[in-house]
A and B are shown apart, each in its own frame.
Chain A
């Protein structure tokens, strides 16, 4: 399966799960909504050009927004993590994109600890920005902080679960055309 086809299917599955399962889970606490859909952006191949990353972030956020009827909200948050992603990757494993032996960021490709840091920073950024935008016209500062903390914790739990349950197959880069 080519990268393109795989990622299209992935996007559809992530949006579906987010819009129809996670968004409808009865609240654990006030508005602690479990988020996982942005894992799509975290899983994009290392070699994705930065402009393509931005465009994909825009599309991902917008498609969820149209299901939730909040146009622009998740789009802004997704764009932010799509923009920051390359910096975090170079920070954590300073290699050229072509030097990675694996195609995509995963615990196997980066090692569990640096993958968790990578996922944690981007999750925190996503939730912080998302909650901040919501807070601009609604809510209090304490609510903001509690919400960011709680949603980040739940998202990290979901990400770890996903990584353990669905280990992606070993994808070595080879010299032959993929």
Chain B
């Protein structure tokens, strides 16, 4: 017994080094994007408040780009305003129907957009995250899509604290986004190989589809998280994977990740219902077996 105590006393520093090292590695390997990291909630409140201060200065460097982007969106929206359109035929009149209860064409809101501001952002690593200045208090939750001020895709919310939220950027080796080509409507997956922060990879497009450089890649309609039809990027280089019969397409991002400032957080209001339906179906099918 005495020897054990002597041993511990002699190698106390080494032992405490090993214990601390164990804690660090445990934190590293248990953390992934689905589990909230140890102490990340509290820590992101603190880092968030520092980030918000630094960001106030940083904003001035990107004002011009941001301004152009917002101006372009305004332009496209103003073109949609009703006063721009006049009925050609004077006998045709628009009748506003106020009794819409039984109307089959009644619209249901599916996506809710909330504005937010980026307070921290990186592009230099294999796993890049952004931090936004809106959190659970403003209704931000996990698995909401994040779009740039001009409507191109930035990433997905993966964690929230009261006042801040963490976003997994498209530049993250674990990011997988269902995408489709605008021209041919075929579906694939957007990934990132951690090589160049301007280029993403589009996989799963078979070689019989015709692709050209410059084709637009949009978010897919088959997704619970992302609103469909928003720009991800444009095809920059076409490689063919000889073994599998699929293309490996390099996609230039629509977003300049170095200068993301104002973003929208988009919530799919029917997500819970869709997931429940999927879950119920799966249970029903399992029972039948």
- Residue positions of A touching B, CB distance < 8 A: 20, 23-27, 30-31, 33, 50-51, 54, 58, 61, 66-73, 75-76, 79-80, 83, 133-134, 138-139
State whether B197 touches A54 (Cβ < 8 A). no
- Residue among A33, A51, A75, A134 making CB contact with B27, cutoff 8 Å: A75
B160 to chain A, nearest CB (A): 13
A32 to chain B, nearest CB (A): 9
B141 to chain A, nearest CB (A): 18
Across the two chains, which residue of chain B brings its CB closest to A67?
B47
* Residues in B whose Cβ lies below 8 Å from that of A30: 194-196
State whether B27 touches A72 (Cβ < 8 A). yes
State whether B124 touches A27 (Cβ < 8 A). yes
State whether A71 touches B39 (Cβ < 8 A). yes
B7-53: which residues lie under 8 A (CB-CB) from chain A?
12-14, 16-17, 20-21, 23-29, 31, 37-40, 43-44, 46-47, 51
* Residues in A whose Cβ lies below 8 Å from that of B26: 72
- Residue positions of B touching A, CB distance < 8 A: 12-14, 16-17, 20-21, 23-29, 31, 37-40, 43-44, 46-47, 51, 54, 120-127, 129, 166, 173, 194-197, 258
Given A33-B124, A67-B47, A69-B129: A79 touches B194 (CB 8 Å cut-off): no
* Residues in A whose Cβ lies below 8 Å from that of B20: 54, 58, 79
State whether A61 touches B24 (Cβ < 8 A). yes
State whether B25 touches A76 (Cβ < 8 A). yes
* Residues in A whose Cβ lies below 8 Å from that of B125: 31, 33, 68, 70
* Residues in B whose Cβ lies below 8 Å from that of A71: 27-28, 31, 37-40
- Cα(A75)–Cα(B21), bound, Å: 8
* Residues in B whose Cβ lies below 8 Å from that of A58: 20, 24
* Residues in B whose Cβ lies below 8 Å from that of A54: 13, 16-17, 20
4 tightest CB-CB pairs across the interface, nearest first? A72-B28, A72-B27, A75-B24, A76-B24
* Chain A to chain B contacts (Cβ below 8 Å), 28 pairs: A20-B54, A23-B122, A27-B123, A27-B124, A30-B196, A51-B13, A51-B16, A54-B20, A67-B47, A67-B120, A68-B122, A69-B37, A69-B127, A71-B40, A72-B24, A72-B26, A72-B27, A73-B28, A75-B24, A75-B27, A76-B25, A79-B17, A79-B21, A133-B28, A134-B126, A138-B173, A138-B194, A139-B194
State whether B40 touches A66 (Cβ < 8 A). yes
Given A54-B16, A76-B21: A31 touches B31 (CB 8 Å cut-off): no
* Residues in B whose Cβ lies below 8 Å from that of A31: 124-126, 194
- Cα(A127)–Cα(B14), bound, Å: 21
- Cα(A134)–Cα(B194), bound, Å: 12
Across the two chains, which residue of chain A brings its CB closest to B122?
A23
- Cα(A50)–Cα(B195), bound, Å: 40
Residue in B17, B27, B125 whose Cβ sees the most chain A Cβ within 10 Å: B17
